Amino acid sequence: MTIPDSSGFHYMMENGSIELPCKPEEERRIVQELTAKAESNLREGNLYYVVSSRWFSAWQRYTGQIEGAYPFEAHPMESQSPIPSNTGDRPGLIDNSDIVVNGGDNKDDDPQLLRTLEEGRDYVLVPQEVWEKLSKWYKGGPVLPRKMISVGDQQKQFIVEVYPLCLRLIDSRDQSEVVIRLSKKASLHDLYVKVCNLKVLQPEKARIWDYFNKQKHSILISSNQTLEDCTLQMDQDILLEVPMDDFGMDSTGNGLALVPVEPVRSPFSIAGGPTMSNGNSTGYSSNINQRGTSTSTYGDMEDGYDGFKPVTRGDRGGLAGLQNLGNTCFMNSGLQCLVHTPDLVEYFLQDYSEEINRQNPLGMHGELALAFGELLRKLWSSGRTPVAPRAFKGKLARFAPQFSGYNQHDSQELLAFLLDGLHEDLNRVKRKPYFETKDSDGRPDEEVADEFWRYHKARNDSIIVDICQGQYKSTLVCPICDKISITFDPFMYLSLPLPSTATRSMTITVFYCDGSGLPMPFTVSVLKQGCCKDLKQALGIACCLRSDEYLLLAEVYEHRIYRYLENPSDPLATIKDDEHIVAYRLPKREADLTRVEICHRYQEIERKPFLTPLVTILEDPQSGADIDIAVSRVLSPLRRKAFITSTTHSSRENGSAANAIDEQMECSCTQLEPMIQSAEEMEPEGMSSKELSFRLCITDDKGYGCRPIAKDSPIKPGRVVKVMLDWTDKEHELYDSSYLKDLPEVHKSGILSKKTKQEAISLFSCLDAFLKEEPLGPDDMWYCPRCKEHRQASKKLDLWRLPDILVFHLKRFSYGRWLKNKLDTFVNFPIHNLDLSKYVKSKDASEGSHVYELYAISNHYGGLGGGHYSAYCKLIDDNKWYHFDDAHVSPVNESEIKTSAAYVLFYRRVKPTSSGTVGEPSDGHRVS
C-alpha cells in the first residue's frame, strides 16, 4: 500500500504512532457507520465537535465522498453511480484555525468560534465517535466540543449548542469585568457555583442581578430555573453584589461602601400610579424576597404591565425602536410591521383578556398573545425610547425553537408563525366542531365558497381571522379522466413568485439519429425548479416528437459527450446557463439496439476533436461495414449536393443551423423513415467491396485508445459503441460541417440579458404568476377520486374573498438541498390605490372594496446566510412614513420606500365613501 506523503502522517510518526492510515474508502465507511449510529441515538448531553468546512471538504474529496453532502448525507446520485475511491490528496492536520477567534493563537483553553459562521458553509458538526476517529487519524485542532440540548416546549427538538451563552460579570466592588460562558440550559444554581468559584465566595454571600443595559431588572435567585427562562441574552451584563456584614466588611474582608444600583424610574404606568420600570418598589432588601422566579410572570415584570386595562397611546407613540438582541433584526422588522397594523393596535391597547384561549391544544396557552400584546403596549406607550424585546424573544424560543439561538432567520417565516400563533391563542372557539367537506359536484361556486367559509369560521374565529384571512378558489383537473375538483381554502398571506424566478428559458439543439433532418436549436420555457422530465416534455412538443420516439439529453464539452442526462428526476438547476446541451431523437425500442456514438476530429492537424458528437442506433452490428453504414446515414442531411438551393446556401455561409429553421421546421414534423435499414439499402454510393467510405476508429469507454477498423473488422457486442471519425478533404467536400459547429449555450448571457435583469417587474405580474395554471410537482401528486390513483393534476388558483389586511410575500429566496439563491429584482408595487377587482372572482358586493393602500414593508438587504432586515411603517395618525432599523427610527419620504429590498408588503383595505368612491382606509383615515 502506498502511504501518502502528508503532514498528518509525519506528525503521527513523530509521536510514535505505528498505526498506518486507513484506505480512503475505509475511512469513509467507518465515519458513515459511526455517524448513522450516533444519529439513531440522539439525546440531550451528547457531544458533537465543530470542524472547519475547509478541512472537512478536503477530507471528503480524499475519501471520495461527494462534497456538499452535510455532513454525511447520501447524495441523490449516490445510489445510481459509483463514488470514486479517491479524488484528492490526503489532508494534513485537522485545521480549525479559520473558524476560531485570532486563529486559535491566543492559547485559550476554550477557544471561541467566530460569531459570523454559518453551519454547512463554514463548519460542520460531527459526533464524538467520529471526532475521535478523525483525531486519531489526523491529529490537529483546536478541539471544539459542543453539547446537544433540547429546545422548545411543545415541539421538542435536539440541536447542538454551537454558541453557549456569554455573560459579562461585573463585580460591584471594583467594577472589574470577566466573561462567563454557560449553556442557556444551565440553571441559576450553576451560575452561582461558577461565579463563586471564580470570585472565591460562598454562595450565600453573593447576589447576582440581571443587569441588562446596565440597569437592574431582577435578582437571579439560585434555583433550578434555567438561564434561558430568565431571558438572559448573549453578551449581556450581570452584576455581582456582596452584602456587607455587621462589621461593614464584605466576605473577603474589604471595607467597601456598597451602594445598590436603583432601577431607572419609568415616567408612567400602564396600570396607573408611579412604579419602577421593573414593576417593583425601591426597597433593596425587600426586592430580594419579592422578586419571583416564575417563568410565566417574568415578562410581565420586565415590561412593567399589570393586567389588561385599556392603554392610551403615549406621546410620540409608535416611534419606539427595538433593540437587536443578537441577529434579531429579522424579528424586529416583522414585529414593527405587525405593531403598526391599525386594527391590531386598537385591539391590543384595549382589554383583550376575555379573548385569551388557554385551553387550545393548537395554541401556546395564551402566552404568545400575552407577550405580543405586552410588547405592543410598551412600543405605543414609551415614546421614542428603544425597547428590548427580551421577554417576547424568550417566549418565541420556547414555542418556536427554530427561532432560538442567535442566527439570522427569515422575517416572513416569523410572521407566518406569529400570525398563526396569535390566532390560536386568541381563538374564540373553545371546542372546535367537526365537519366533513363535500365535493363541489357541479354546485354554484358561491354556494360552495360560503359553505367552506362557514365551516372555517365555525372552527376559527379570532381578530386575526377577522382582519387577515381571505379565501381563494383552488381548481384541480385530472390529466387522465378530466375529473374536476374545486375547493375554497383560507389564506393568511399570498406568497408571490417573481416571474424571472418562476420560469427559465433554455436552448437545446435536437439531432435526428436516423439522418432524416438537420440539427435544429429549440428554445423552450420551463419551470426553474423543474426537472429533466419537464425539459424533455417541452422539447418534445417543440420538435414534434413522435409517440414512438424519446429524447436523450446530453451535455457536450470540448466536442465530446461529457454526460448523459438520463434520470428524469434530475433537477434542471444542475444545468448551467453556459453549458451546451443537445437532445438526440431515438426510437423507444432503443433498449434492444446498439447505440453508436460518433465523435469527430481533424485528420491532419494533431487529430484534435472538433464538431458536435452524433448518436445513432444499429440492430446487432457485426462488422465495420455496419458502422460505416450508420455513419453515412446520420451524416446524409449534411451532403452538399442535397441542399443546393438559395435558402440553404445562405444558411451555410453563416455557418449556423439556426438559419435553416424555416426550411427544417416543415421537415421535422413529417413522417420519418424507418430508422433500421439493411446494409444493402443503405450502402454508401461509391463504396468498394473492401474499403470503408470513412476513416473510422473504435475507442474505449472514455474515448481514448483508437483502433482503426476495416469493412470486415468484427465489432465487439455491447450496449454502446464509440467511434472516432477522421475528417479528410473528401469529407469536407461532401458534407457541410457548419451544421455541427458552434452549439448555442443553454442561455446566452450578454447585453440583452443584463438589460432584462435590471428591468423592474410589477406586483401584478407577480400575482399573475401566482394565479397561473400549472401542473403539480412530482412530489405533490393529487389523489384522483375517480381514477383511484395519484395524478400530476393541473392546478389553478383564483382569489375569491379578500381580507381587510392583505399581506404579500415576495419569494426572493429559493432553497434546495444543494442550491440557495436570492433575487434582488426590483418589484414595482403601488403605494396607493392597489385595485384587485379584476382578480376577485366572487360577485358578492357585501365583500366591500377591492382597493388597498400600503402601510408597512419588511425589507431584506444583502445575500443569503446573513444580510440585514429593517422595516418601513406608516404612522396613520400623522400620515408619515418612518424607517425602523432595530433601535434607530428616522423619518423617510414616501418616494424612498420603493426599493429592491422589499420582501413582505402590508396593505389595508380602503373603504368606499358614502358617494360610492374609494377614499378612506377601513379604519376611517383618509388616503393621502
Q: What is the pLDDT of residue 249?
A: 53
User: In the annotation, is 532 catalytic?
Assistant: no
Nearest to 312 by CA among 255, 269, 280, 283: 269
- Peptide bond before 142: cis, by omega within 30 degrees of 0? yes
Under the banding of pLDDT at 50, 70 and 90, the label for residue 683 is: very low
Instruction: In whole angstroms, give the CA distance from residue 886 to residue 830.
Output: 26
Mean pLDDT of 505-522: 91
Q: What is the pLDDT of residue 73?
A: 45
Give the CB-side neighbour count of residue 169, counting CA atoms within 13 A: 21
Residue 830 has pLDDT above 90, yes or no: yes
Q: How far is CA 138 from CA 10, 24, 59, 131, in A?
A: 10, 13, 10, 10
Tens of pLDDT, residues 568-597? 878 888 898 889 999 999 988 766 788 899
Q: What is the pLDDT of residue 55?
A: 93
Give the CB-side neighbour count of residue 525, counting CA atoms within 13 A: 6
Instruction: In whole angstroms, give the CA distance from residue 279 to residue 741.
Output: 80
Q: What is the pLDDT of residue 357?
A: 92
Label the pairing between strands 813-815 and 827-828. Answer: unpaired
Q: What is the pLDDT of residue 916?
A: 54
User: In the annotation, is 468 catalytic?
Assistant: no
Lowest mean pLDDT across 424-428, 479-483, 685-689: 685-689
Q: What is the pLDDT of residue 432?
A: 85
Instruction: In whole angstroms, give the CA distance from residue 195 to residue 437.
Output: 61
For residue 244, what is its C-alpha cell?
A: 456587607
Q: Catalytic pick from 196, 217, 230, 329?
A: 329
Q: What is the pLDDT of residue 655?
A: 42
State the chain's mean pLDDT as an integer.
78
Residue 821 has pLDDT above 60, yes or no: yes
What is the helix (H) or strand (E) element at residue 533, kind and residue range? helix 532-542
Pick the more confident residue, 806 or 438. Answer: 806
Q: How far apart are the first and last CA of the chain?
A: 81
Residue 418 has pLDDT above 90, yes or no: yes
Under the banding of pLDDT at 50, 70 and 90, the label for residue 270 is: very low
Alpha helices in 587-701 (DSSP H): 624-635, 646-654, 661-668, 679-682
Q: What is the pLDDT of residue 13?
A: 42
Tens of pLDDT, residues 388-405? 998 898 888 888 877 877
Q: Which residue has the cell 471526532?
A: 131
Instruction: In whole angstroms, give the CA distance from residue 513 to residue 548.
Output: 14
Under the banding of pLDDT at 50, 70 and 90, the label for residue 647 is: very low
Residue 409 has pLDDT above 70, yes or no: yes
Those residues whose C-beta lies under 8 Å from the C-beta of residue 239, and which sit 6 or more positions away, are 170, 172, 208, 209, 211, 216, 261
Mean pLDDT of 18-43: 82
Q: What is the pLDDT of residue 675?
A: 39
Q: What domains are defined for the chain?
A: 24-77+86-156 (3.30.2230.10), 165-241 (3.10.20.90), 503-640+693-740 (3.10.20.90)
Nearest to 527 by CA among 496, 508, 502, 495: 502
Under the banding of pLDDT at 50, 70 and 90, the label for residue 245 is: low
The whole-model pTM stands at: 0.64
Instruction: In whole angstroms, give the CA distance from residue 336 to residue 595.
Output: 64
Mean pLDDT of 604-613: 78
Mean pLDDT of 838-846: 83
Report which listed range, 234-248, 288-302, 529-543, 708-722, is most confident.
529-543
Residue 215: exposure state from Cβ atoms within 10 A (0-12, 13-18, ≥19): middle
Q: To the nearest whole percent, how much of the chain has pLDDT over 70?
A: 75
Residue 822 has pLDDT above 90, yes or no: no
Tens of pLDDT, residues 722-765? 888 888 888 888 888 888 988 899 988 654 444 444 456 899 99
Tens of pLDDT, residues 130-176? 999 999 999 888 999 999 998 877 777 888 989 998 999 999 888 99
Instruction: In whole angstroms, give the CA distance from residue 821 to residue 811.
Output: 11
Instruction: In whole angstroms, give the CA distance from residue 52 to residue 113.
Output: 10
Q: Catalytic pick from 75, 189, 456, 868?
A: 868
Polymer length in residues for the chain:
928
What SS3 class is residue 354? helix
What is the helix (H) or strand (E) element at residue 729, kind and residue range? helix 729-734
CB 569 within 8 A of CB 594: no
CB 830 within 8 A of CB 855: no
Q: Which residues pair with 797 in a beta bridge?
A: 474
Instruction: In whole angstroms, give the CA distance from residue 354 to residue 244.
Output: 48
Under the banding of pLDDT at 50, 70 and 90, the label for residue 52 is: very high
Lowest mean pLDDT across 265-279, 477-491, 606-620: 265-279
Pick the more confident residue, 758 or 443. Answer: 443
